[in-house]
Each structure stands twice: as structure tokens, then as C-alpha cells.
Amino acid sequence: MSKQFDPREMISPPWRKCPSCGRDKFGVHIISGSRLLRRCRDCWHKQFYPLPELRKRIIYLDQFVVSNLMKLDNPGVKGHERVVVQPFWRELRDLLFQLRQLQMICCPDSSSHEEESRISQYNAQLKKTYEALSGGIVFKSFDSIKSQQIGELARAWSERREAEYDFDPRRVLSGNPNEWNERFYMTSGDNPFIVPAKLKLYRTELHAHMSRLFRDVWAKEKQSFRYWYDLDRFAYQGHLGNAVVRSTKERFEAVLGYRPGTEISLKNLEKALPSFAETLLAGLQHIMRFPRDGRERPSEEISRLETEFGKANRIAEAPFVRLQSLMFAAIAMRAGQGQKEPPDEGTTTDVETVAHLLPYSDAMLGGVRR
């Protein structure tokens, strides 16, 4: 027998006297943004009340922390016994949820949480944990953050000024973290475009590449920290250029390989869509062509700006490029100083996550990898 939903069940204490009917049934109905809606369970009278402004701290919890917090409440998960006997993890979980309920912190989740959880057999439990802490607030994609930072570099170059970065977290989050936590929020299921098998293969290949660098290059070439730092960050622009060429070639091959009347494969469909590098290039060209005053620059000026921007390798100055280059240079130095084993498979994800999210976070909490 099905139970009919009664919307009055969404009205909860603390109760006040209703301004309309006088009964003590005037409860909390909805909290949204910076206001609270009270409604009477009997007469349905409603009234909005403003809430104080907030300034929450952004705390990013990496997958190591999320995993251990998840294990606390899941006895059937491997590692539960190890975590539950360590007071730190229970105290940390209680503190985080207490601070969240006090409207003092926001712990957004990210694509790194989603991807690392999808390749775990405990995906559902991990997802439940990081979403309970984030309350539905999510960092935008790393590609979006790249586009913002590189776009500012191009805009500054075209306006003959130094780049000015706005690291306000509201620019890179799905919602305003300083709004009051809503009593209810909705989350979606797993992203159908993330294929665990494909993601595992990609991570394996990436780790193999880093391991080769660690053993065959970084460990053998005794270079300075500055050398590895500059080498990595100045190479990023070339990486983007190669990605544009590769995507164009793959699209051309996919179009030539298509036969009318046949169903196009998902793999070829992905190749037919513009890649991030191509979209970024188009965005930079648009910035060089159209200044913010609404006019269109002459073609000669556009060509000069694009050429000089490329020659100056301004993309090497993007904050995410500088941060990830600093971390890879540190790993290279460890190899040169005699560390035998390369970092584990999750290190590249950690580097990418920190490089993109650190400027927008008040603190990042995570584990230590080799």
C-alpha cells in the first residue's frame, strides 16, 4: 500500500505562533540562499525572514580523507577495522559535520572525487560520503579553470597590462558557498560518460609514463629544481598545440571512415566533437579579435597579438601551470637524490587537483603519497 506524500511533513520545528491563525504550528519550511521561509502547518500561511551573511571557509578533502571517513560507517568495507581504532578519523568526521552544520565551512567535491570513486568497488559509499560533506556544491571542471586563467592571460596581453587573477571560489563552484545550507538538496547518479575501464587504462598509461620519466630521465639527469620547473611549464603551450593537431587529424580520419547508413560509434563521435585544446584556441582567437569595448580589431593587429602571445609563451604563467610544474619538479628532484620507487598511480591526480583547486581553497586536507 503506497503512502501519499503530505507537504506538511517538510515543515519542522522550532515552532512559533502563526501570525495568521495564532496556532503554534509556524515552523521552518525552506532555507534558501540568505533567507528562511516559515509556514504554518494548519493554515499554510507563509513568511520569509532574512538570514545573516556568511563567509564560509573552503576546505578541500582529497580522496584519501574521503575514503577513510567512508570506512568509519561501513563495517563491510576493507580497511574499516584499521580506521575505526584511530580516534583521529572519528574526531575529524565529527568536527567537519559540526562546522558544516554551523555554516562555517564548505567542502566541495570535484571531478577527482568522482573519477577516483568510479574505479573503486565502493563507489556508492564513497559518493554518499563526499556528497554529504559538499551538500551539492561542486568544483567546476579543471578545463573550465584552465580556460579562465589562460583567458585572463590572453585578455591582459591584448590590453597591454599584467594579468590579474580573481581567486574568488564562487567563480569555480556550482553554487555560492556562502549561502546557507539548504535543508534538502538533489544529487545525480553516476556520470554515464565516465567509463571505469577506460579510466583505469588511462591512469595505468599515465603512471607508466611517469615511472619512465622517474627512472630514465629525472634519476639520471642531475639538474637543478629550476631547470625541471622551467622545462615543464614552458612545454605546456607546445602540449596544447600538439593536442590541436592530433584532434584535427582524428576528426578528419573519423569523417573519412564514416559510411552513410551505418551507426557511428561512440569513439568516433567523441573524435568528431571539438577537443578542449581546440575550444581553448578558438576562445583565445575570439579574445584577440574582439576587445571588451565591443569593436573588432583590424586583422593585422589580431595576427600580431596572436603571434606575439605565442612567442612569449604567456601560457607558462598560468597559475595552474606554475603549480603543477612546481610539484613535478619536486618529484624530479627526489628521483635525482636517490629515491628508488616512483610515486604511485594516484600522484598525477593529486598534482592535477592541487594545481587547479589550491588557489580557490582556504585549506586542503589529504594523505601523503610516496
Listing DSSP states for 47-78 in one string gives EEEE------EEEEE-HHHHHHHHHHT-TTST
Number of H helices, E strands in the chain: 13, 7
Nearest by Cα to 337 from 221, 212, 207, 216: 221
pLDDT digit string, tens, across residues 97-136: 999 999 999 999 999 999 999 999 999 999 999 999 999 8
For the stretch 289-325, pLDDT in tens is 999 998 999 999 999 999 999 999 999 999 999 999 9
| Cβ count within 10 A of residue 315 | 24
Distance between CA atoms of 230 and 326, rounded to whole angstroms?
9
* CA 52 vs CA 104, 173, 306: distances in Å: 12, 21, 47
pLDDT of residue 186: 72
Q: Please name the residues in contact with 353: beta carbons below 8 A apart, sequence gap of 6 or more.
A: 60, 62, 110, 112
Task: Tell me the C-alpha distance between 115 and 195, whole Å.
Answer: 9
Share of the chain above pLDDT 70, in %: 97
Question: What span, in angstroms and rounded, lies between the C-alpha atoms of 135 and 131?
Answer: 6
d(CA 363, CA 367): 13
State the residue for C-alpha cell 539548504: 182
Task: Give the model's pLDDT for residue 292.
Answer: 92
CA-to-CA dists, residue 298 to 149, 241, 257, 290, 308, angstroms = 25, 25, 39, 10, 16
Record the cell numbers describing residue 351, joined without a space.
598534482
Rounded to the nearest 5°, which phi and psi values hold at 206?
A: -65, -40
pLDDT score of 370? 47
Express each pLDDT in 332-355 by its tens digit: 999 999 999 999 999 999 999 999
C-alpha cell at 65: 580523507
Low-confidence ranges of the chain (pLDDT < 70): 1-3, 266-267, 269, 367-370
